[in-house]
């Protein structure tokens, strides 16, 4: 199985051994961040630093000023935490020189700086709370920004493909600085309810489907009230959402959110294809459960595989998770569809590099055609050696 490792530009820049070290793992490809959210990242082998702090979402290449001139929503270039005017380009060149194929890694609807500077672009929950890390993808100005960001960040010189992350709804779940929202554990269903948006555009969307948006938000608050009182909820999946909110409003909110995400995904993928050279591969980080939101956006696999070349699917959670994400995707895969099983290989972040060979074999039996390894820059030397042994 073809394998790709995720990297940040700072994992490579300033470390002359980095590109060859990654190539020695046995991977054929690197998925290299071109547009990424804020983060604090360990660099355990870098000759000059051990921690890189990226305080805001940024792009790691020179933006096209003609594209963004006079537009209030625009990407921010990386600051002094990344080297040079084109960190992505310099890192990609070093990786290609080591014999590696390079694809861009583009994070879209996840941007805390955008929400801080333009709070009216963010998801607003049923209680009126704003989520600044989660741009509302129903808003026309956000959609226009995401389409142009995707085109510019995905189609970088020398890249032979892209992986689009957070191409859909983002919601409550977010690794925020000093996060303190775990006091009441929320299952799958309650997290969905806390992720529903009630900004003016979404309220109009519910009204367009025949519902009173005030009644919808009131019903969501009412459905969540017992969850707060009981100290949490373990309800999962669409059946769990229906038990909390009722079948009718569950269907209505899913109809609005699924149609909104689907149209944006179609638009972004088409725009990237139009800007890319022939043979450019377009993959999407996804979960084949349309109600999910976050980095792996919820999709209808039958629909999205009619547009994207394939999906990158979260597979670290064990056999049950692999079954849940790979089987629905494999049912709608064509002969050339890429289904990449994404495994965390950093033991300190909950990954299991020691079981990679067996996990990959299980994923292949379920229809996976490729592997993604998160994350070669964050992993310890022991983790990387374990991965190398598994791949070779």
Q: What is the DSSP string of 363-383?
A: HHHTT--EEEEETTTTS-HHH
Q: DSSP assignment of 68-97, as one string?
A: HTT-SS-PPBP-TTS-SS-HHHHHHHHHHH
Helices (H) and strands (E) counted in the chain, each on its own, are 15, 14
Indicate the SS3 state at residue 3: strand
Q: What is the DSSP letter of 99?
A: T
Cβ–Cβ under 8 Å, residues 171 and 115? no
Indicate the SS3 state at residue 173: coil
* CA–CA distance, 94 with 19 (Å, rounded to integer): 6
Give every CB contact of residue 221 below 8 A, 6+ residues apart in sequence: 126, 127
**Which of 171, 166, 167 shows the shortest CA–CA distance to 193?**
171
* CA–CA distance, 54 with 277 (Å, rounded to integer): 31
- Check residue 178 and give its pLDDT: 76
**Which of 199, 1, 27 shows the shortest CA–CA distance to 115?**
199
Cβ–Cβ under 8 Å, residues 328 and 288? yes
Q: What share of the chain is helix, strand, coil (3-state, %, to 5)?
A: 40, 20, 40
* CA–CA distance, 92 with 64 (Å, rounded to integer): 19
Which residue ranges form the domains of the chain, and what is each CATH number?
2-181+257-391 (3.20.20.80)
Which residue pairs, CB below 8 angstroms and at least 24 apart, start in 144-149?
Answer: 144/73, 145/71, 145/73, 145/74, 145/114, 146/108, 146/109, 146/264, 146/268, 147/264, 147/267, 147/268, 147/271, 148/67, 148/68, 148/271, 149/35, 149/59, 149/75, 149/106, 149/108
- Cβ atoms < 10 Å from Cβ of 144: 13
- pLDDT (tens digit, 9 = 90+) per residue, 337-360? 999 999 999 999 999 999 999 999
pLDDT band with cut points at 50, 70 and 90 for residue 1:
very high
pLDDT band with cut points at 50, 70 and 90 for residue 369:
very high
Q: How far apart are the first and last CA of the chain?
A: 11
* CA–CA distance, 304 with 318 (Å, rounded to integer): 24
- Check residue 101 and give its pLDDT: 98
The torsion region of residue 351 among left (phi > 0), alpha (psi -120 to 50) and beta comes to beta
Give the dihedral of Cα atoms 299, 302, 306, 311; nearest 10 deg.
50
Tell me the Cα Rg of the chain: 20
- pLDDT (tens digit, 9 = 90+) per residue, 37-59? 999 999 999 999 999 999 999 99
Percent of the chain exceeding pLDDT 70 equals 100
- pLDDT (tens digit, 9 = 90+) per residue, 204-244? 999 999 999 999 999 999 999 999 999 999 999 999 999 99
Average pLDDT of the residues in 239-255: 98
Q: Is the dihedral of CA 197, 201, 205, 211 positive or negative?
A: positive
Q: Which parts of the chain fold into alpha helices (H)? A: 9-12, 18-23, 65-68, 87-97, 112-117, 140-154, 188-195, 200-208, 213-230, 237-245, 247-275, 301-304, 319-330, 356-365, 381-391
- Check residue 174 and give its pLDDT: 83
* CA–CA distance, 146 with 140 (Å, rounded to integer): 10
- Check residue 307 and give its pLDDT: 98
* CA–CA distance, 306 with 118 (Å, rounded to integer): 34
Query: Taking 90 as the threshold, does the pLDDT of residue 21 lie above it?
Result: yes
Q: What is the DSSP letter of 233?
A: B
- Check residue 181 and give its pLDDT: 86
27, 47, 195, 334 from 188: Cα distances, Å: 34, 42, 11, 30
- pLDDT (tens digit, 9 = 90+) per residue, 152-177? 999 999 999 999 999 999 999 887 77
- pLDDT (tens digit, 9 = 90+) per residue, 293-337? 999 999 999 999 999 999 999 999 999 999 999 999 999 999 999
Structure tokens at 219: 């019903």
pLDDT band with cut points at 50, 70 and 90 for residue 77:
very high
């Amino acid at each position: 199985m073809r394998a790709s490792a995720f990297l940040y530009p700072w994992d490579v820049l300033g470390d002359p051994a980095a590109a060859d070290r990654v190539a020695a793992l046995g991977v054929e490809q690197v998925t290299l961040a071109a547009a990424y959210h804020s983060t604090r990242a360990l660099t355990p082998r870098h000759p000059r630093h051990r921690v890189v702090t990226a305080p805001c979402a940024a792009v790691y290449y020179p933006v096209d000023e003609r594209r963004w001139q006079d537009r209030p929503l625009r990407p921010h270039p990386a600051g002094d935490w990344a080297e040079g005017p084109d960190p992505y380009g310099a890192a990609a060149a070093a990786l290609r020189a080591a014999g590696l194929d390079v694809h861009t890694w583009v994070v879209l609807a996840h941007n805390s700086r955008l929400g801080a500077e333009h709070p009216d672009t963010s998801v607003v929950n049923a209680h009126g709370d704003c989520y600044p890390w989660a741009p509302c993808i129903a808003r026309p100005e956000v959609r226009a920004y995401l389409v142009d960001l995707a085109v510019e960040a995905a189609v970088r010189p020398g890249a032979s493909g892209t992986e689009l992350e957070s191409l859909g709804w983002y919601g409550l779940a977010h690794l925020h600085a000093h996060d303190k929202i775990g006091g009441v554990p929320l299952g799958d269903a309650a997290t969905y309810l806390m992720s529903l948006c009630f900004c003016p555009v979404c309220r109009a969307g519910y009204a367009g489907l025949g519902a009173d948006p005030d009644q919808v938000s009131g019903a969501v608050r009412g459905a969540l009230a017992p969850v707060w009182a009981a100290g949490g909820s373990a309800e999962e999946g669409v059946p769990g959402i229906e038990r909390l909110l009722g079948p009718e409003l569950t269907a209505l909110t899913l109809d609005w959110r699924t149609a909104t995400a689907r149209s944006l995904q179609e638009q972004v993928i088409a725009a990237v294809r139009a800007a890319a050279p022939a043979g450019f591969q377009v993959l999407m980080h996804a979960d084949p459960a349309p109600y999910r939101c976050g980095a792996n956006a919820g999709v209808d696999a039958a629909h999205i595989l009619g547009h994207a070349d394939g999906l990158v699917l979260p597979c670290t959670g064990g056999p049950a998770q692999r079954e849940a994400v790979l089987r629905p995707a494999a049912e709608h895969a064509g002969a050339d569809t890429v289904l990449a099983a994404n495994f965390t290989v950093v033991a300190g972040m909950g990954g299991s590099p020691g079981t990679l060979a067996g996990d990959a074999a299980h994923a292949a039996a379920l229809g996976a055609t490729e592997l993604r390894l998160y994350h070669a820059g964050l992993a310890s030397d022991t983790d990387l050696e374990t991965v190398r042994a598994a791949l070779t």
